[in-house]
Amino acid sequence: MAKRNLLEGKKILVVDDEPDILDTVAELLSMCRVTKALDFESAEELLERESFDIVILDIMGVRGYELLEVATGREMTTVMLTANAMSPEHMQKSRNEGAAFFIPKEKIKFGPDWQKKHGIGVR
């Protein structure tokens, strides 16, 4: 009997202002039905119009806290994706506002161009 991936077929919204991040996350979640949004307005419209099993939000570039409020208000599981905002204050604020989890961008296997641009993994 083949094992089934727990994420298989889940409907996921990924919101980030960097297209390479959206593409990488979508590729990593290829077993899911991924919808991507590059900006606050597109994401807000999608959140109000559709329902998602998981919403992955960039904290900074797309007004992530406002989108977190919309997503949690509709009882969607929300994960915060961040490169530079992993301070205890940001983590506590996100948690208080309903984020289920955090994913530091440096833990995702992005290409060398993105890593260099953000000073991650480059010595």
pLDDT digits (tens, 9 = 90+) for 76-114: 999 998 876 567 787 888 888 889 988 887 777 655 555
Per-residue buried b or exposed e for 84-108, using 16+ beta carbons within 10 Å of the residue's own CB: ebeeeebbebbeebebeebeebeee
The answer to whether residue 4 sits within a structural domain is no
Q: What is the pLDDT of residue 26?
A: 93
The answer to whether residue 1 sits within a structural domain is no
Give me the phi and psi of 62, to 5 degrees please.
Answer: -125, 25
The answer to whether residue 39 sits within a structural domain is yes
The widest CA-to-CA distance across the chain, in whole angstroms, is 46
The answer to whether residue 19 sits within a structural domain is yes
The answer to whether residue 6 sits within a structural domain is no
Q: What is the pLDDT of residue 115?
A: 56
Q: How many CA atoms lie within 13 A of 28 on its CB side?
A: 15
For residue 102, give the 3-state DSSP assignment: strand
The answer to whether residue 85 sits within a structural domain is yes
Element (H, E) at 25: helix 19-28
Q: What is the CATH number of the domain that holds 96?
A: 3.40.50.2300
The answer to whether residue 107 sits within a structural domain is yes
The answer to whether residue 3 sits within a structural domain is no
Domain holding 23, by residue range, is: 11-117
User: What total of structural domains would you count in the chain?
Assistant: 1
Mean pLDDT on 64-73:
94
